Structure 1
Amino acid sequence: MALRELSKEERDTARQKALAARLERASVKEEFGAGRLSFEDVLSRAETSEAVARLRTVELLEALPGVGKVTAAKTLESLGISESRRIGGLGIKQRAALGEHLRHG
């Protein structure tokens, strides 16, 4: 099935929506990395914001000081969480395990 051609206005609207989502995700990562947002705060934002819910868990961990791609990947692997998992897709046990890990390092 071919997608229909979008009008200029529809493309502009979609572009603005995508930009707003990227800015919101960047803001959440920056605040989380700086310690102004807790993991629980991020989870509660994900409940009301599709943009935050679509943030990859590995990207959130990489926002922390001293945590790079390798450390974030190892952390998720040790907790049994896929690297491709998004914040909004975390299960109850995954949320609890990650929250516990972040609280006690």
Structure 2
Amino acid sequence: MAIPTLSPEQLQAARAAATEARRVRAALKNDVRDGSKTLPQALDECAQDDVLAHIRVVDLLKAVPRIGEKRAGEIMARYDIAANRRVRGLGRHQVAGLKAEFS
């Protein structure tokens, strides 16, 4: 099956949509970083928004103050979360564990 050829207008629309999605995801991570949202609030918001659901779990964890690469990896290992997992791909027990840890 061949990849469809997109018109210049379609390409421009796709670029704009991708830029907006990155901006929205960065805004959520900044809200978690500055403390205006907690991780459980961010996870709830990700469950409601398709764009936010594409954030990698490790990136969201590293946005939490005092959590770096090592602690994020330990937390993810504790709940059996793969390193490349996105929020959308988390199971209910994994989400519940993360919420309980950061409540």
TM-score (norm 2): 0.90
The count of corresponding residues between Structure 1 and Structure 2 is 103
Q: 1:71 to 1:40 in 2, by over 3 A?
A: closer
Q: Contact 1:43–1:88 at 8 Å: present in 2 too?
A: no
2:29 aligned partner: 29
Q: Letter of the aligned partner of 2:95 in structure 1?
A: R
Does the CA contact (< 8 Å) of 1:29 and 1:63 recur in 2?
yes
| Ranges of 4+ aligned residues in structure 1 off by more than 6 Å | none
The equivalent residue for 2:53 is 53
Q: Which sections of structure 1, spanning at least 5 residues, go unmatched?
A: none
- Provide the residue aligned with 1:72 in structure 2: 72
User: Larger RCO: Structure 1 or Structure 2 (Cα < 8 Å, ≥ 6 residues apart)?
Assistant: 2
Q: Shift in Å at residue 31 of structure 1?
A: 0.2
Instruction: Using structure 1 for the length normalisation, give the TM-score.
Output: 0.89
